Structure 1
């Protein structure tokens, strides 16, 4: 889900410093990330795109790491968090909605999720996602330990799946050749690795969204098995 660009931004090719701000430079960086991925951004290229001198980017946003941080923060902030739930039994549909929203947003900006894993949950936008999800997991009946590990597995799946889809989209022209090469290699060793051969029908026509959703269901099934039912929680609190 791409973040809509501000229609009032100056997209000229000149180097005028007027009319630019931290927000406008960040908007240009967001649009640029959609086209080349977060790692593809450089200060000079971003400045050219924004129609300013590189010093303007440094002045309004900062160095390259700071630019990438600003992009990542804006992307995560755009992930829609579902409304709070009153019934803890709705935990699964809530997490599914968050996962779909996160996948749709992150898959439009290749490189953002790997950047987040490297820098850690250090921005307000990331913290709000963690807080909301942890409250739902705890309300569903997971211990703090299980909720923490469960959230980590959940967000890793969403982020990694989205980034893989984004990477394939950026290199879509290379995909047929790579797919054919993968199939050839697997078929060459199929007799020795029959388990690997079972993947051919799925990997040869891999649907990233389907793979994301099927794996999400497997993950949520695992969370379900770790839940403590409300009746058991009530009994435990009474006897405790």
Structure 2
């Protein structure tokens, strides 16, 4: 009876929030419907009143992480470059909040209607800044994949930390003719490694600067080259 009452009080959002908390404790591989049901004090079938299957649960969790990053178009007076940088940092932070956050989002089958509508608003704002729709989409997609990949590596590296040799540079240097003066070792030493804020910022800036160059190469809208048809079928002479 008590279990049925608790089950009756469940909501979809409660299930997702609890699943995210459990994710932080057990990781994605340890997150099962049975374990989640036990955490909520119900039997597994009670969850299927709110989510049809585990994939829908995982999609809902991924959607919550994306929304928590604060998606949306640029603020008034904010350049698209500053907005993309802010958006990327916020997205990275949101992924890092949860254990296996990047892996969860990268494997989502779909996102919710609110996220999709917000994404469309972002692309519309980018078009207002001079992007074509396809360049806007490719830019956001490239940045999203970059952030996902960086965080996925960070979180994977964190799990493997216990197996990492205490002196990694020395171990690498032993494989190279130049030893501790080999170019790879010097690069690691000077850069502080391939993870962390500085490494992330370098890649992010390269993507944004590359986007600016691609935008500058695009011909202004409404301009046609000789021989290209006008919309009504006429051609320039």
Question: Does the TM-score normalized on the shorter chain lie above 0.5?
Answer: yes
Task: Identify the residue that residue 174 of structure 2 maps to in structure 1.
Answer: 188
Task: Identify the residue that residue 139 of structure 1 maps to in structure 2.
Answer: 128
Contact 2:20 2:61 (8 Å CA) reproduced = yes
Could you tell me which of 186, 191, 213 is aligned with 2:201? Answer: 213
Deviation (angstroms), 1:53: 1.6
What do residues 190-238 of structure 1 show as CA deviations (whole Å, max 9, x unaligned)?
22794433443267666523322221111111111112389x737838x
Unaligned runs of 5+ in 2: 231-237
Relative to 1, partners in 2 of residues 1:34 and 1:158: Cα closer, same or farther, differing over 3 Å?
A: same
CA RMSD of aligned residues (A): 3.6
What do residues 40-76 of structure 1 show as CA deviations (whole Å, max 9, x unaligned)?
3101111122222222223332322221111112222
What do residues 61-95 of structure 1 show as CA deviations (whole Å, max 9, x unaligned)?
232222111111222222212554555x7111111
Aligned length: 223
Relative to 1, partners in 2 of residues 1:217 and 1:209: Cα closer, same or farther, differing over 3 Å?
A: same
**Range with greater deviation from structure 2 (24-33 or 220-229):** 220-229
Higher relative contact order (CA 8 A, sep 6+): 1
Does 1:63 find its partner at 2:53? Answer: yes
SS in 2 for 1:160: helix
Task: Identify the residue that residue 235 of structure 2 maps to in structure 1.
Answer: none
TM-score relative to the length of structure 2: 0.74
Distance 1:120 1:69 in 2: 6
Task: Identify the residue that residue 67 of structure 2 maps to in structure 1.
Answer: 77
Contact 1:91 1:137 (8 Å CA) reproduced = yes
Could you tell me which of 11, 24, 40 is aligned with 1:21? Answer: 11
TM-score relative to the length of structure 1: 0.74
Relative to 1, partners in 2 of residues 1:65 and 1:120: Cα closer, same or farther, differing over 3 Å?
A: closer
Relative to 1, partners in 2 of residues 1:39 and 1:176: Cα closer, same or farther, differing over 3 Å?
A: closer
Deviation (angstroms), 1:143: 3.5
